[in-house]
Amino acid sequence: MEKAYLMAVLPGPAPPEGVDELLELKELLATAGAEVVGEMVQRRDRPDPRTYFGKGKLADLQSELGRLEPDLVVVEDELTPNQQRNLEDRLGLRVIDRAALILDIFAQHAHTAEGKLQVELAQLQFNLSRMTGKGIALSRLGGGIGTRGPGETQLEVDRRVARKRISTVKKRLRDVSSSREVMRRSRLASRLPLIALAGYTNTGKSTLLNALTSSQVAVRDRLFETVDPTTRAYEFAGQTYLLTDTVGFIRKLPHQLVEAFHSTLEETLVAHLILHVADASNHEDELEQMNAAVDSVLDAIEAEGIPRLLVLNKIDLLEPEQEAFLRRIYPDAVFVSACNGEGLERLKERVRDFFNARLVSVEMMFPYGDGRSIGEVYRLGSDVEIESIQEGVIVSARLPREEVERFAKYMLKGREGKRQPDTD
């Protein structure tokens, strides 16, 4: 196990006794398989632009490191290339930041060809963004002696190699993504209600998928267990629903990852409904921050328009008064325990109600012989009734709201009306 020492610059006053501001970073390290041997926090509004810590604090850190002899130093923030270089020079140790750590965990947890390529792409782009310098500073990323072209500095060679690899990976990614694209299209074409699970990592999304669909997707108490998306079906009150589990989110998710995982995250975008799963056993402030992080990733992938239902999971861990308190703050949320099954029936009802409300009652008149349109209504809608009159075929049905538009020209005004085609 590698020994890691943590450093963080945090704004504001020190938190009250018992609150560990570096808890999440520690969980990330535990997930990555490293042991934390010490930590140092400097309180200031923003990090030093050159060395992250200020001068005096850096000296303190150096003597701590001399005493504890860790293998590497892990920084809570995303470092600039300069900060990273300066820190490594000063400390004589490998320095990695939060973003690099998250990328590393993703690399360990990606199993499919697509997932692996997505992680590689993110890592390449991350490294490329650090290969800056003013020509003097040689990159430490490439071994590369002898690969240099005429007139090229090592840095230029490294960047050229990285760019080339990036375009290869992107191309391969397009190839492997296409098979999932085919599956996604067929799910869309099936017209079944599509639900996506989204939420902070480790909130129990996969456990919930398993509980709702009686599946066996891997579940573990560590961050970013799920990297590759999975879809399973469940049935409720005679209707089949498709449920997709995908990668979890975290605060300060490296933007290279969000970009590289775009096609995976797009699984969320095709959903009619997003179940935003949160861990109710977190402290309320923590919960709010995590929910905000999830919302910001969803906004970044342009999922703003998709309705969301908040699911507060792990209520088996709450005291009754805590649960009552949360129910007051989140009156619209569904409270469940994916572990003991509490609230799952209610969740299925809420999902059913959502999809029912999505259906609107319409009455249309089709000309005789337009069997194709009537067939469409049968395929898309429910409760279809047909009546032939002299002018054509009257069809009443319940259609998904977003499908109503395409039948606009056949719509009749309200049932009591004179059955005139709607010309509004």
Ligand X SMILES: Nc1nc2c(ncn2[C@@H]2O[C@H](COP(=O)(O)OP(=O)(O)OP(=O)(O)O)[C@@H](O)[C@H]2O)c(=O)[nH]1
Cβ proximity to Mg ion: between 118 and 226 the closer is: 226
Smallest separation, CB 226 to Mg ion (Å):
3
Which of 39, 158, 225, 403 is in the footprint of ligand X by CB under 6 A? 225
19: CB partners within 8 A, 6+ apart: none
- Asked if 24 interacts with Mg ion (CB under 5 A), we say no
List residues bridging with 241 in a β-sheet: 234
Q: Which residues inside 226-255 make contact with Mg ion, applying CB under 5 A?
A: 226
One-character DSSP codes across 229-282: -EEEEEEETTEEEEEEE---B-TT--HHHHHHTHHHHHHHHT-SEEEEEEETTS
199: CB partners within 8 A, 6+ apart: 205, 248, 249, 276, 277, 278, 294
Strand order of the β-sheet with 392-400 is: 359-366, 392-400, 382-389
- Asked if 226 interacts with ligand X (CB under 6 A), we say yes
Smallest separation, CB 201 to ligand X (Å):
4
Smallest separation, CB 220 to ligand X (Å):
5
- Asked if 207 interacts with ligand X (CB under 6 A), we say yes
Work out the burial of residue 17: count CB atoms within 10 Å of its CB; fewer than 13 is exposed, 13-18 middle, 19 or more buried: exposed
- Asked if 282 interacts with ligand X (CB under 6 A), we say no
Helix (H) or strand (E) holding 95: strand 94-97
Which of 258, 301, 317, 394 is in the footprint of ligand X by CB under 6 A? 317
Whether 313 and 338 have beta carbons less than 8 Å apart is answered as yes
Cβ proximity to Mg ion: between 7 and 102 the closer is: 102
Smallest separation, CB 13 to Mg ion (Å):
36
Helix (H) or strand (E) holding 421: none
Q: Which residues inside 363-382 make contact with ligand X, applying CB under 6 A?
A: none
Residue nearest to Mg ion as judged by C-beta position: 226
Alpha-carbon distance of 72 to 38, in angstroms, equals 11
Alpha-carbon distance of 280 to 291, in angstroms, equals 11
Smallest separation, CB 202 to ligand X (Å):
5
Binding window for ligand X (CB under 6 A); candidates: 21-29, 38-46, 332-340, 410-418 = 332-340
Q: Which residues inside 143-202 make contact with ligand X, applying CB under 6 A?
A: 201-202
- Asked if 213 interacts with ligand X (CB under 6 A), we say no
Smallest separation, CB 339 to ligand X (Å):
4
Q: What is the CA radius of gyration of the chain?
A: 27
Which of 31, 84, 139, 206 is in the footprint of Mg ion by CB under 5 A? 206
Where do we find the tokens 């535990």? Answer: 30
Alpha-carbon distance of 104 to 122, in angstroms, equals 10
Alpha-carbon distance of 223 to 27, in angstroms, equals 7
Binding window for Mg ion (CB under 5 A); candidates: 134-142, 205-213, 297-305, 357-365 = 205-213
Alpha-carbon distance of 54 to 45, in angstroms, equals 12
Q: Which residues inside 297-316 make contact with ligand X, applying CB under 6 A?
A: 313-314, 316
List residues bridging with 75 in a β-sheet: 7, 97
Cβ proximity to ligand X: between 123 and 206 the closer is: 206
Which of 123, 125, 177, 203 is in the footprint of ligand X by CB under 6 A? 203
Partner that binds at residue 317, options Mg ion, ligand X, none, CB closer than 5 to 8 Å by kind: ligand X
Partner that binds at residue 187, options ligand X, Mg ion, none, CB closer than 5 to 8 Å by kind: none
Smallest separation, CB 346 to ligand X (Å):
14
Which of 97, 158, 225, 279 is in the footprint of Mg ion by CB under 5 A? 225
Using CB under 6 A, count the residues that bind ligand X: 22
Binding site for ligand X (CB under 6 A): 201-207, 219-221, 223-226, 248, 313-314, 316-317, 337-339
Binding site for Mg ion (CB under 5 A): 206, 225-226
